[in-house]
Amino acid sequence: METSKENAEGILRLNDTNVYRNPTVWSHDPSMMWDPVTKAYYSYSTDVYRPECGLTEKIGIPVRKSQDLVHFTYEGIALSEKAISQGRDNGEFSPTAGFWAPYVEYVNGEYRMYYSATKAFGSSESRIWLAVAENPLGPFENRGIVADTWGTDDTYPNAIDAHVVWDKGQCYLVYGSFFGGVYIKELEPSTGLALDGNPKSLGLCIARKGKDFPKDGPEGASIIYVPENGWFYLFLSYGWLGDDYDICAGRSRKVTGPYVDMEGKDLVEESVGVRIAGSYEFQAEHPRFLDNGNGWKWGGLRGPGHGVPFYDELQERYFFIHHVRDGASVYRVHEEEDNRDSYQVHYMMVRPMFFLEEWPVLGPEPYTGEIRKMPLSEAPEGYWEILDFGGDGHKQQKARKVYIEDFRKHFENSIVYECRDFENEKNSIVMSGIDKSGLAYWGKFMYSIV
């Protein structure tokens, strides 16, 4: 099969599952870092073994590289053979099949990778390892375990989904899953290991769902500090990762919380936060995809989640990096036992992130390096596609047609900008916003009334 010019440049397109032609495919739980030494961006993700798609290593943390956050190349795996062997060792139980959700940062002349190893898929008994390297591509060698929930029951947090945040020279590990909630614990800055030397210490709970909330979660948590407004923002995901996963946010003046929603409700059992993204579908006349004869048809995008906030000092711009699933019916598998759908193909998505009234909103289109802001008053007259992330969080949100004057009556707090339209392969004007109740919405200009 021939490789098009745009694919050779590593730009995201749908329905192309070859990681060398389409480098952001199969990137689950992605993180992102800018390396000041090699002057490049690196993204690390959960292990995926698909030899027919170019992913020939069964385990070892895949790495992708970029010079601009738009064009990526797949670089292979980052862990050493020794680190893989250590991380897989489950004693009397079967070795870990794959590692999850890595986070990497450059600290004191070394690259630190935090990654998860679990007893089995769905288990709450897991460990978060710290591995270090002299190069962002590795090989990374294990330094030690920083969080360990081996031997605990489901009321405890699961030691997976690591993220690290710094505050006034002190670093903190953010981790956990829906079993016991999301926790934060202090690390030793010079080594990156647990401050108290005890991987079994849990730290503080900063997010946990209420007893009556119907969806799984929270998990995939991350925190960023925004000096422009003095808030720490906690991002996390709820739902079934195969379909109705989402992205929610809370904020706090202290890194250790409490984190609250727009009404001041605590993310520990009182609120899931402000929902800023979920499964969605814009109209698509010319989506960027590969026609490989399998009958693929546009079905929107499903389950955005497990994202990391990222501030790019070069561009002086905030981004949010997460995975998302192809909503085409050819990739839907119905799981009879749980009576739910699971969309099988996923991609890494890089979105611009903005702050409105000191709350985060995400851009409705993947980042392509083209953002030209304009005031809402200059948004073109005519009809727009609008979708919001309220209502039933279990369903895919489909865009509806709204006249701009009707929109302005209800939504005044918006970021409007020109960018590349992923669904229609053209330049377009889009908007992102959030209202005073915490309802986040996206919009895209359709056409003018002549």
End-of-domain residue from the set 359, 388, 405: 359
Contact 399, 387 (CB under 8 A): yes
End-of-domain residue from the set 359, 381, 400: 359
Domain of 440 in residue numbering reads as 372-447
Asked if residue 281 and residue 404 are part of one domain, the reply reads: no
Asked if residue 433 and residue 343 are part of one domain, the reply reads: no
Q: Which residues pair with 205 in a beta bridge?
A: 183
Q: What is the pTM of this model?
A: 0.96
Q: How confident is the model at residue 1 (pLDDT cuts 50, 70, 90)?
A: very low
Asked if residue 396 and residue 290 are part of one domain, the reply reads: no
Q: Does 410 reside within a domain?
A: yes
pLDDT at residue number 379:
86
Q: Residue 263: how many CA atoms within 13 Å on its side-chain side?
A: 10
E-strand stretches of 211-358: 219-226, 231-237, 247-252, 274-277, 280-281, 301-312, 317-326, 332-335, 340-343, 346-356
Q: Does 351 reside within a domain?
A: yes
Asked if residue 236 and residue 90 are part of one domain, the reply reads: yes
pLDDT at residue number 75:
97
Asked if residue 422 and residue 306 are part of one domain, the reply reads: no
End-of-domain residue from the set 359, 390, 415: 359
Residue 303, helix vs strand vs coil? strand
Task: Report percent pLDDT > 90 for the chain.
Answer: 83
Asked if residue 232 and residue 347 are part of one domain, the reply reads: yes
Q: Does 68 reside within a domain?
A: yes
Say which CATH number the domain at 404 has.
Answer: 2.40.128.10
Asked if residue 127 and residue 258 are part of one domain, the reply reads: yes
Give residue 161's identity as a one-letter amino acid code.
D
Say which CATH number the domain at 327 has.
Answer: 2.115.10.20
Q: Which residues pair with 246 in a beta bridge?
A: none
As a whole number, the mean pLDDT across the chain is 93
Which pLDDT tens digit goes with each residue over 250-299?
Answer: 999 999 999 999 999 999 999 999 999 999 999 999 999 999 999 999 99
Q: Does 367 reside within a domain?
A: no
Asked if residue 150 and residue 172 are part of one domain, the reply reads: yes
Which pLDDT tens digit goes with each residue over 343-392?
Answer: 999 999 999 999 999 999 999 999 999 899 988 888 888 999 999 998 76
Asked if residue 387 and residue 321 are part of one domain, the reply reads: no
Q: Does 365 reside within a domain?
A: no
Which pLDDT tens digit goes with each residue over 111-148?
Answer: 999 999 998 877 899 999 999 999 999 999 999 999 99
Asked if residue 195 and residue 163 are part of one domain, the reply reads: yes
How remote is the C-alpha of 54 from its chain's centroid?
23
H or E segment at 87? Answer: helix 81-88
Q: Does 279 reside within a domain?
A: yes
Q: How confident is the model at residue 3 (pLDDT cuts 50, 70, 90)?
A: very low
Place of tokens 């990654």: 115
Q: How confident is the model at residue 450 (pLDDT cuts 50, 70, 90)?
A: low
Asked if residue 272 and residue 154 are part of one domain, the reply reads: yes
Asked if residue 227 and residue 163 are part of one domain, the reply reads: yes
Task: Report how many domains make up the chain.
Answer: 2
